[in-house]
Amino acid sequence: MAADKIVDASVCARAGSTISRRFSAAELPRLREAGGQDGSWIEAEFQFSLFDGKPAVAGELHGVAVLTCQRCMQPAQIELDDTFQVILVEEERNDEPGGYEPVVTNPSRLDLAWLAEEQALLALPLVPMHQSEDCAAAVASGEIASTEEREDEVEDAQDAAGKTHHPFQNLRDLLRKQ
């Protein structure tokens, strides 16, 4: 781990330091575990201050996470643009003041890559997808089936069976027998 990624947050907070760093996908192992592919990167700016005697960090996060689109299963560049406010604590408490999100860490050895990656993971969408017009091009070219085509296939299968399947139709009778 490079020395420039580890800072003493208490010293930075007392000095009111601002630190900017850029991290590549290779430096972000948890982002890779979450599906991040080559081409992902994060730029983060960390503004240190003291709040209630503890180091606090107000940050901005910008970058791109290359993830698999869950609609067409092709790589999608997801723009990351987020702000965060955290207070660095050595043990977890439920009553941290000031609207800061508590982060349990050793303030004297704060890993900036870890903090940036943590915030990037929180900023990722639950279901990564291209913008609808990007996936629409894949549907138009026949690479993937549209939602309407998939619904039509389900309706055709139900019509072929002659009736709609009701899996819990006999549940009431079964419960009465017990």
pLDDT tens across 162-172, in order? 666 677 777 77
| Amino acid in position 154 | V
Q: What's the predicted TM-score (pTM) here?
A: 0.68
Q: Indicate if the alpha-carbon torsion angle 103, 126, 114, 14 is positive or negative.
A: negative
Q: Is the pLDDT of residue 67 over 70?
A: yes
> By the 8 A CB rule, do 62 and 22 touch?
no
H/E stretch holding 45 reads strand 41-51
H/E stretch holding 84 reads strand 75-89
Alpha carbons 87 and 102: distance in angstroms, whole number: 5
Q: Is the pLDDT of residue 120 over 70?
A: yes
Q: What pairs with residue 88 in β-bridges?
A: 103
Higher pLDDT, 114 or 98: 114
Q: Is the pLDDT of residue 1 over 50?
A: no
Pairing of strands 101-104, 75-89: parallel
Higher pLDDT, 65 or 176: 65
Alpha carbons 97 and 70: distance in angstroms, whole number: 39
